[in-house]
Amino acid sequence: MTEREIMDFARGEFEWLHAHPELAYEEFETTARLRAAFEHAGIRVLDLPLATGLISAIGTGKPIVALRTDIDALPVHEETDLPYRSQYEGKMHACGHDFHMASVLAAALLLKEREAELAGMVYIVCQPAEEAPGGARTVLNTGALADVAAIFGIHARPIYSVGTLGLCTGGMMASVDKFEITFHGVGTHAAQPDRGCDPIVMAAQFVTAAQTIAARNISPLRPAVVSVTHIEAGTTWNVLPERAWMEGTIRLFDSDDRALVKERVASLAEGIAAAFGGRAEVTWTAGPPAVVNTERWNTLARETAAEEDFAVVDAVPWMAGEDFAYYQEAMETCFAFVGTGLSPENHHPKFTVDPAAIPQTAHYLACMAEEALRRLR
């Protein structure tokens, strides 16, 4: 395929993918569409036990590097006026994963044209379920990436214009943990609070006290977020309940800070509950660690992006999480933010991506893979 044919095709696929968003682990049409595109181009698709998502391969032998795209959409009702807006009620590619797919697909087609010159093999990892933490783990658990030396990923960012690429060494995206806390008290008549033990007062004290964790336990030079996002307690106006329940999240870049904040959340909840004569139960659901770029691949990424005429900027770290971080446990990684034109933030119902960003992003990814193979030999 010519350059022009590849980019026209990728643009068409972007629009189709945007119009047909599928949620985490339900990406069946998306997977079939990607498979058809790879097979049509003569790119082999690996035979793996993945219900959704796939890995294709270009070139032969070792070393192996990988390009990663996530493929899932969000339960957001689209509010754009795009001609290719979502055809599925309440589902939307509101995080740009359609753009990631189109760019990685175009990169694969570019690499296919230069397959004979590749100094090894490139895997194209189309990963399910980035939004519901676990998709990267699902792919890693197949064992298919065991021999991959390095994997490269991107994320669409509407804070940068098209032609801008953001990179930094160190933390780019935060670690994610979810907590749930139940405050146990003693229910009573609202008119006789002295006869019970009010868990709503405990919960209220905790919400305020928890803000001191970021303000008073973590260095002001390192970002930390502690957010209570959901509270439920009581059923009516004249009864004090037995229990108050809440959930929330913590976001950090430093793994020592992460452990400290978890310890502080638990001890504040338990200490406050005990001080009021009740008891707190804290449970954690761990999400991915922070996405961290290393000097080696960050330097290659800067050089490659500059060669592709990107304006390279120092990335502003993003407190959102990204399960790309799980790949760091098994191989080397590099992550980049790609400017997709100014729009409301990722996950907003009016979030948009300017598809003009696809060709340059595809060239960046293809060149990263090619040059990484040369450097790994």
Binding site for Ni ion (CB under 5 A): 95
CA distance 135 to 129: 4
Residue placing its CB nearer to Ni ion in the complex, 77 or 222: 77
Contacts of 361 (CB under 8 A, 6+ apart): 99, 103, 106, 107, 154, 338
CB atoms closer than 10 angstroms to residue 254: 19
* Shortest CB 155 distance to Ni ion, Å: 6
Residue placing its CB nearer to Ni ion in the complex, 205 or 333: 333
Residue placing its CB nearer to Ni ion in the complex, 95 or 358: 95
* Shortest CB 79 distance to Ni ion, Å: 18
* Shortest CB 178 distance to Ni ion, Å: 17
Give me the torsion for CA of 365, 369, 370, 374, rounded to 10°.
150
Sort strands 279-286 and 175-184 into parallel, antiparallel or unpaired: antiparallel
Residue placing its CB nearer to Ni ion in the complex, 323 or 370: 323
- For residue 269, the SS3 value is helix
* Shortest CB 130 distance to Ni ion, Å: 6
Residue placing its CB nearer to Ni ion in the complex, 66 or 95: 95
* Shortest CB 288 distance to Ni ion, Å: 12
| 40: amino acid identity, one letter | H
Specify whether the CB–CB gap between 145 and 330 falls below 8 A. yes
* Shortest CB 140 distance to Ni ion, Å: 18
* Shortest CB 247 distance to Ni ion, Å: 21
Contacts of 253 (CB under 8 A, 6+ apart): 170, 171, 174, 175, 222, 223, 290, 292, 317
Residue placing its CB nearer to Ni ion in the complex, 95 or 365: 95
The shares of helix, strand and coil residues in the chain, as percent rounded to the nearest 5, are: 40, 25, 35
Residue placing its CB nearer to Ni ion in the complex, 98 or 332: 98
Listed in sequence order, the DSSP H helices in the chain are 3-19, 28-40, 97-113, 135-141, 199-212, 255-275, 295-307, 358-376
CA distance 187 to 270: 19
